[in-house]
């Protein structure tokens, strides 16, 4: 059952995790005492930590799922022993084992409250500090996320004092980023408070001068009133449209009823709706994503990662994550459950992604050809939000350089072909 937690099939992995939980429930039912039953069950699972690399990784994943499920029933001594074993695995040179151990620590940070977690911080920090340099560089993103969680729970100084010097630079960067985010959040809150104060209704002055001034500006006040305030007062109100060019209005005219209006004709409608976004000269909205939304999306992504590490993530959320493209560099990409042709013979590739512009390739000669109902065969590059990622900037620059080199090569070959035609 434990070895099936890293099976290729998503259904097999899900059933393996569910079976592990059901076995734990059976131990609890037959033993009676929940804590003793879980301790006996975990001792049996510990045996997998002495096997091969794959067995150790699967055992850590199984322990992660069990701790997530029975977090309220595990004793402190059992949790301390479990964290000690996981910290020893962090010193391994095998990235697969270290990745599973870091996932376990991430789940522990998520499910345990700071008071209970405080007694285990030293053990976890010692294990993280003993990670080998090459493994630490490979999992720098995961480690940064874990350090951020520790700093938020226990403070910068405590975390810094427990880690060796090679981690201090990352901790300082995290503190600067957290302070920057906090300042931006406070500035946004102050801005919202100032706007709400400006929109607060002003108290009326009771002096005789103000009363007389208000009586002179009744018309302007009527124009500025909202529809809600008008209510019943405007029921029975009517406006009479006067004649054009100072002509006297004949009340005996049978068509005078057409000049009676139910709304004020001089009331100007607001030309622009205040939506809080900047507008370009041609009327298009300029919408920038808020920092808080980015932080919220980031937290949701971390939440999905934590649930995935614990083996409780659904297929739908996995599919959505792959569609969004928000998976880490060091995450194992799950193989797609699609039919693949086998046996002898020629088979076309089912899941292969074609290069940009492959549809325009000429089947008989060099160069590109125009296709009916499609764009001209120029270098079109799709603009996506993922291309703004700083980690992928080098890859994007390489694509642009390759496109320019291809254009230069094509122009050079075209000139040579023209020279050959002229000579012929």
Task: Read off the pLDDT of residues 187-216 as tens digits, 9 standing for 90 and up.
Answer: 888 887 776 666 555 555 555 455 445 545
Torsion of CA 291, 293, 299, 304, to 10 degrees: -140
Residue 261 β-bridge partners: 239
Backbone angles phi, psi at 276, to 5 degrees: 85, 5
pLDDT, position 303:
58
Mean pLDDT confidence for 219-234: 48
Backbone angles phi, psi at 285, to 5 degrees: -80, 140
Angle between helices 10-31 and 315-324 (to 10 degrees): 140
DSSP class of residue 357? T
Measuring CA to CA, which residue among 269, 271, 287 is closest to residue 279?
287
Residue 90 tokens, joined: 């962090």
**Distance of alpha carbon 119 from alpha carbon 319, whole angstroms:** 38
pLDDT digits (tens, 9 = 90+) for 96-124: 999 999 988 888 888 888 888 888 888 88
Confidence of residue 402 (pLDDT cuts 50, 70, 90): confident
Categorise residue 367: left if φ over 0, alpha if ψ from -120 to 50, beta otherwise.
left
Residue 240 β-bridge partners: 260
Could you give the 3-state DSSP secondary structure of residue 80?
helix
pLDDT, position 385:
76
Q: By percentage, how much of the chain surpasses pLDDT 70?
A: 62
Helices (H), 199-243: 208-216, 218-224, 227-230
Confidence of residue 238 (pLDDT cuts 50, 70, 90): low
pLDDT, position 209:
52
Helices (H), 47-93: 53-69, 76-89
Measuring CA to CA, which residue among 143, 136, 146, 3 is closest to residue 61?
3
Q: Are strands 260-261 and 278-279 parallel, antiparallel or unpaired?
A: unpaired
**Distance of alpha carbon 290 from alpha carbon 121, whole angstroms:** 34
Measuring CA to CA, which residue among 107, 179, 92, 172 is closest to residue 142?
107
Mean pLDDT confidence for 250-256: 70
For tokens 């919408």, the residue is 287
Helices (H), 155-217: 156-162, 168-198, 208-216
Residue 213 tokens, joined: 């001034």
């Amino acid at each position: 059952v434990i070895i099936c937690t890293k099976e290729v099939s998503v259904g097999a992995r899900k059933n393996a995790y569910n079976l592990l939980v059901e076995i734990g429930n059976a131990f609890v039912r037959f033993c009676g005492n929940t804590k003793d039953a879980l301790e006996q069950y975990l001792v049996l699972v510990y045996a997998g930590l002495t096997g091969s690399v794959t067995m150790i990784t699967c055992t850590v994943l199984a322990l992660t799922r069990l701790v997530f499920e029975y977090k309220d029933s595990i004793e402190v001594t059992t949790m301390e022993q479990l964290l000690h074993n996981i910290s020893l695995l962090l010193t391994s040179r095998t990235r697969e084992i270290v990745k599973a151990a870091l996932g376990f620590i991430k789940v522990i940070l998520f499910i345990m409250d700071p008071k209970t977690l405080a007694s285990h911080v030293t053990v976890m920090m010692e294990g993280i500090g003993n990670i080998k340099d090459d493994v630490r560089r490979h999992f720098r993103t995961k480690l940064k996320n874990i350090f951020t969680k520790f700093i938020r729970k226990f403070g910068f100084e405590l975390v810094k004092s427990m880690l060796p010097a090679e981690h201090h630079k990352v901790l300082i960067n995290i503190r600067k980023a957290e302070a920057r985010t906090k300042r931006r959040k406070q500035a946004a809150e102050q801005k919202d408070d100032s706007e709400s104060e400006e929109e607060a209704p002003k108290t009326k002055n009771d002096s005789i001068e103000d009363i007389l001034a208000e009586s002179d500006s009744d018309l302007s006040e009527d124009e500025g009133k909202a529809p809600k305030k008008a209510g019943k007062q405007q029921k029975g109100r009517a406006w009479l449209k006067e004649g054009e060019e100072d002509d006297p209005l004949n009340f005996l005219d049978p068509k005078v009823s057409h000049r009676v209006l139910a709304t004020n004709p001089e009331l100007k409608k607001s030309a622009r709706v205040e939506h809080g976004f900047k507008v370009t000269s041609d009327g298009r909205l300029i919408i920038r994503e808020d920092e808080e939304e980015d932080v919220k999306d980031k937290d949701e992504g971390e939440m999905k990662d934590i649930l995935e590490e614990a083996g409780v993530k659904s297929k739908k959320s996995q599919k959505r994550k792959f569609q969004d493209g928000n998976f880490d560099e060091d995450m194992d990409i799950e193989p797609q459950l699609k039919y693949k042709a086998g046996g002898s013979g020629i088979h076309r590739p089912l899941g292969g992604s074609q290069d940009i512009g492959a549809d325009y390739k000429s089947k008989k000669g060099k160069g590109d050809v125009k296709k009916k109902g499609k764009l001209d065969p120029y270098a079109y590059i799709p603009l996506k939000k993922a291309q703004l990622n700083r980690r992928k900037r080098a890859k994007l620059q390489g694509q642009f350089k390759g496109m320019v080199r291809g254009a230069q090569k094509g122009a050079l070959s075209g000139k040579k072909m023209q020279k050959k035609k002229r000579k012929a």
